Structure 1
Amino acid sequence: MIVLTDEQAITVHRLLTCILLNETYRLADVENALLWLSPENRQILCPFDSL
């Protein structure tokens, strides 16, 4: 599971929308998204942690 903050989710959404619509986007958004979505930055959530 990938956990993003609201700001990160908005950035990824905007970036993917721009790519799909063939619109320009910021390279910094691509770099940030790659960092946020890379395997070493993923947070694993276990549903049994709260028990």
Structure 2
Amino acid sequence: MEDILELPKDLFIQIHHLYIINQNFIEKIETNKLIVSNIELPIGTSFFFES
């Protein structure tokens, strides 16, 4: 888990307890999910953010 803390916070966001993503690869943001490289990923309820 310590490696996660070393990721640049201006590039990476945690959207779910299982997913940390590079913001540069977000293709689309919807209410409770986003699309990254044509893959739908859920946004956990405790990780909602404003787009």
TM-score under structure 1 length normalisation = 0.26
Larger radius of gyration: 1
Query: Which of the pair has the greater relative contact order for Cα pairs under 8 Å at 6+ separation?
Result: 1
